[in-house]
Homo-oligomer: A and B are copies of this chain.
Amino acid sequence: MNNAAQELRERLNTITDMHIAIGLLHWDQQTYMPKGGIAMRAETIATLSNIAHRMSTDTDMLRMIDAVSDRFDTDTDDGALARLARRNFERATRLPAELVTDLARTTALAEPAWVEARSRGEWNTFAPHLFRIVELQKQVADSYGYTTHPYDALLDEYEPGATKAQLETMFDELKHAIVPLVRDITAKSDSATERARPLYNSFDEAKQEAFGRDVITRFGYDWNCGRQDLTVHPFCISFTSRDVRITTRFDKDFLQPALFSTMHEAGHAMYEQGINPTYARTPLGSGVSMGVHESQSRLWENLVGRSRAFWTYFYPRLQSVFPDAIGDVDFETFYRAVNTVAPSLIRVEADEVTYNLHTLLRFEIEVALLDGTLTIAELPEAWNAKMKEYLGVAPTSEADGALQDIHWSGGMFAYFPTYTIGNVLAVQLFDAAMTAHPTIMDEAARGEFTSLHSWLTSNIYQFGSKYEPQDLIERATGSRLNTAPYIRYLREKFGELYEL
């Protein structure tokens, strides 16, 4: 290996190792840490984050990056590493230290205020915090710099290369297809509550856990390089591709949450486990963007886990695990239950069809807040009006409306659209995999997923962050982000399910 490349790689190894340790401190806090440790853990995480940030902004880094960029094209591993390192360095150095501190302090106060506001449904308790956060987000956007709109600067953090204009096109296409589809389904449909009823019953948690393990083992999740624990909110965390952990939670009276969140998190995890192991402990060694990451979780959760083929194999097995609950529920009834469409108030409980209308609403509100065309005081009313317009429902309390998500309180602006990017990309990728291996669904009906897992490993997983997100998608599917396959998928699947 070239000396300059070696030097840069070692420096990045050190910084990445600090982030691995910070990740473990977080994982431990959410899984096993005794309660008494909370205050001290916050101090330790702050210390390590501070050290990692100082390392990342060391000007010596730039010399190393330049030395490698001069020698290697960005389509080599070393060149890609230098490109990523430069991007991270520039972003880290553009934020003034006072702004970082101010953001940390503001969000640290905003999160508990949000918890309280949501529990009481009181917008005014959270409003002044959100006002401050929006002001700071504008400063962040100004610090990063942008040509067209501050949203672009924030979005680039989660989805490198994406722009507000692209999202507007994407959401516009989706809105025109999905809003009428939801109306047709709602007009045609029997009661959604009735349709989903088989999922509500008594389901022993240990048996749910064993069934979920079997499913994701068959998908290709590698337990030798992973594990599953219990947390309040399910998540996936990767230290290196050799240690990628997932968490879940069980509801003994409702089958849906654990089962689908296990598949979802395993989707994220298999992506991380499949990354070229030589990328470990460098910025190349993790998924390339939030949107691409979400495409992997959604693909396994929805395109596989909510398909006829999947349940052809797994439904008889699930029935034998829970004979009392679903022994006499026929296949078609169960398949319809896991694909129930119902306009609802809460994003995280939304079905495949209505989900993107929740993210669209948030995208439009975030843009308007940054524009200054919407004030914090007007936000709840705007939220409710959009809910009514897109989904035909509106909350009676802000707890089920503008206060439902934790993201804004943590300063996560321009994050929500990546969920929809993931939905759209998932179908593009699945179609490409099916073209390469037309028997994927026949295999799924036998509980086999090797062709799909291999195709994703070869075309997505292995590359980690080597290519720009849309370049990676184009290499894998022949085109960049494109809503058409996703819209066709929704129309076909739910057209059949609802006999439209």
A28 touches B25 (CB 8 A): no
The complex places the Cα of A39 from the Cα of B243 at a distance, in Å, of 10
The complex places the Cα of A240 from the Cα of B33 at a distance, in Å, of 12
Q: Which residues of A contact B (CB under 8 A)?
A: 13-14, 17-18, 20-22, 24-25, 28, 32-37, 39-41, 43-44, 47-48, 50-51, 222-227, 229, 239-240, 242-243, 245, 280-281
A243 touches B24 (CB 8 A): no
Give me 20 A-to-B residue pairs in the complex whose CB atoms sit less than 8 angstroms apart, sorted by A's number: A14-B47, A14-B51, A17-B47, A18-B51, A21-B21, A21-B44, A24-B24, A34-B223, A34-B245, A35-B225, A36-B225, A37-B239, A37-B242, A37-B243, A39-B242, A40-B239, A40-B240, A40-B280, A41-B243, A51-B51
Q: Which residues of B contact A47 (CB under 8 A)?
A: 13-14, 17-18
| Cβ-neighbour of A43 out of B28, B37, B222, B281 (below 8 A) | B281
Q: Which residues of B contact A239 (CB under 8 A)?
A: 37, 40-41, 44
| Cβ-neighbour of A48 out of B18, B40, B223, B245 (below 8 A) | B18
CB-nearest residue of chain B relative to A46? B17
Q: Which residues of B contact A224 (CB under 8 A)?
A: 34-36
User: How far in angstroms is the closest Cβ of chain B from A24?
Assistant: 6
Instruction: Knowing that A14-B47, A36-B243 touch, tell me 14 more A-B residue pairs with CB under 8 angstroms.
Output: A17-B43, A17-B44, A17-B47, A21-B21, A21-B24, A34-B225, A34-B226, A34-B243, A36-B224, A36-B242, A37-B225, A37-B239, A40-B242, A51-B51
The verdict on A17 contacting B243 (CB below 8 Å), with A34-B224, A225-B36 known, is no
Q: Which residues of B contact A25 (CB under 8 A)?
A: 21, 24
The complex places the Cα of A225 from the Cα of B41 at a distance, in Å, of 12
The complex places the Cα of A245 from the Cα of B28 at a distance, in Å, of 12
Q: Is the interface of A mostly helix, strand, loop or mixed?
A: helix
The complex places the Cα of A20 from the Cα of B240 at a distance, in Å, of 21
CB-nearest residue of chain B relative to A48? B21
Q: Which residues of B contact A51 (CB under 8 A)?
A: 14, 18, 51
Q: Which residues of B contact A243 (CB under 8 A)?
A: 33-34, 36-37, 40-41
Q: Which residues of B contact A13 (CB under 8 A)?
A: 43, 47
The complex places the Cα of A41 from the Cα of B20 at a distance, in Å, of 9
CB-nearest residue of chain B relative to A44? B17
The complex places the Cα of A20 from the Cα of B22 at a distance, in Å, of 11
CB-nearest residue of chain B relative to A277? B40
The complex places the Cα of A227 from the Cα of B13 at a distance, in Å, of 32
The complex places the Cα of A24 from the Cα of B239 at a distance, in Å, of 14
User: How far in angstroms is the closest Cβ of chain B from A83?
Assistant: 23
Q: Which residues of B contact A34 (CB under 8 A)?
A: 223-227, 242-243, 245
CB-nearest residue of chain B relative to A40? B240
Q: Which residues of B contact A39 (CB under 8 A)?
A: 242
The complex places the Cα of A150 from the Cα of B441 at a distance, in Å, of 68
User: How far in angstroms is the closest Cβ of chain B from A260?
Assistant: 23
Nearest 4 CB-CB pairings of A with B: A37-B243, A36-B225, A17-B47, A36-B242
User: How far in angstroms is the closest Cβ of chain B from A457?
Assistant: 16
The complex places the Cα of A22 from the Cα of B47 at a distance, in Å, of 13
User: How far in angstroms is the closest Cβ of chain B from A337?
Assistant: 34
The complex places the Cα of A240 from the Cα of B239 at a distance, in Å, of 24
A36 touches B227 (CB 8 A): no
CB-nearest residue of chain B relative to A19? B44
Q: Which residues of B contact A242 (CB under 8 A)?
A: 34, 36-37, 39-40
CB-nearest residue of chain B relative to A245? B34
Q: Which residues of B contact A28 (CB under 8 A)?
A: 24, 28
CB-nearest residue of chain B relative to A15? B47
Q: Which residues of B contact A48 (CB under 8 A)?
A: 17-18, 21
The complex places the Cα of A21 from the Cα of B45 at a distance, in Å, of 9
Q: Which residues of B contact A240 (CB under 8 A)?
A: 37, 40
Q: Which residues of B contact A223 (CB under 8 A)?
A: 34
User: How far in angstroms is the closest Cβ of chain B from A7?
Assistant: 15
Q: Which residues of B contact A225 (CB under 8 A)?
A: 34-37
A281 touches B21 (CB 8 A): no
The verdict on A281 contacting B35 (CB below 8 Å), with A14-B51, A28-B24, A48-B17 known, is no
Q: Which residues of B contact A14 (CB under 8 A)?
A: 47, 50-51
CB-nearest residue of chain B relative to A38? B242
Q: Which residues of B contact A50 (CB under 8 A)?
A: 14
User: How far in angstroms is the closest Cβ of chain B from A39?
Assistant: 7
CB-nearest residue of chain B relative to A281? B43
Q: Which residues of B contact A21 (CB under 8 A)?
A: 21-22, 24-25, 44, 48
Interface centre among A22, A40, A51 (most CB of B within 10 A): A40
